[in-house]
Amino acid sequence: MALALDRIRVGSAPDSWGVWFPDDPQQVPWVRFLDEVAEAGYSWIELGPYGYLPTDPARLTDEVTKRNLKVSAGTIFCGLHRGPSEWESTWEQVSNVAALTQAMNAEHLVVIPSFWRDDKTAEILEAPELTTEQWRNLTTGMERLGREVKDKYGLDIVVHPHADTHIDTEEHVEQFLDSTDSDVVNLCLDTGHYAYCGGDSVKLIETYGERIGYLHLKQVDPDILADVVKNEIPFGPAVQRGVMCEPPAGVPELGPVLTAAQKLGVDLFAIVEQDMYPCEPDKPLPIAVRTRKFLRSCGA
């Protein structure tokens, strides 16, 4: 008999509706996103880019409550590997997002490292490998962020390995985890990004289970990925080619990932995120409905 996935709380995010920016004419309006994510059968959502959903807590609470939705996390981007000079601009962003996240009774702040190449133009912005000093800046900066976000907002930070950032491959993820304090820094494992960068999600969960604080459920198309890797295509154009695909068509298999996560014996969010910016406005809802049905078939 399949393992009951009673510790996994499934949700979705604006990303699965093609939303990457606070405001963009190619994106669906936020009201439509909220209506459709509820219609698709999800009860948990992320805030997405700060400013896409209403930032007034009272208004946002009203909008999500009347659709029987709840918020699981907010998201920020930061480049703490650049050193202490980054702190002020990072904290300015964090304070806005964390305050709204806290007001929505969520408990997690997803932290995404900054890109080393532009996700639209492919321009190389920084070296893809960090120096020893930059690694030290990154790890000490994330620990400081984890402590201060917990102290001031009561939120746990979960760092999101991401394509075209410095925390991407199995080697880099393990180095990051081995160099940070589990009391203040844990991981948002995005199954799609980790596969995109050659990692094995089940192995990571089984090896570093105590560091897995949050999940993003996503799959990659292995054929498109092979072409992306061969031709060194940056993440943005890769998404436009459909590298992130609808489950269960891609890798990794999500059933084994969810089973491994359940075996950790802790409550975990598993938020569906199928990158597809930009996309036709009528495309996301049918995919979301089918994905929710598929996850139910896995026991989630």
Work out the number of other CB atoms within 10 angstroms of the CB of residue 300: 22
Count, in order, helices (H) and strands (E) of the chain: 11, 10
Q: What DSSP string runs through 29-54?
A: PHHHHHHHHHHTT--EEE--STTTS-
Beta bridge partners of 259: none
In this structure, what token pair is assigned to residue 213?
């604080």
For the chain, give the number of residues.
300
- 98: three-class secondary structure by DSSP: helix
- Residues 156/9/24/145 CA torsion (nearest 10 deg): 10
Per-residue pLDDT of the chain (300 residues; tens, 9 = 90+): 467 899 999 999 999 999 999 999 999 999 999 999 999 999 999 999 999 999 999 999 999 999 999 999 999 999 999 999 999 999 999 999 999 999 999 999 999 999 999 877 888 999 999 999 999 999 999 999 999 999 999 999 999 999 999 999 999 999 999 999 999 999 999 999 999 999 999 999 999 999 999 999 999 999 999 999 999 999 999 999 999 999 999 999 999 999 999 999 999 999 999 999 999 999 999 999 999 999 999 998
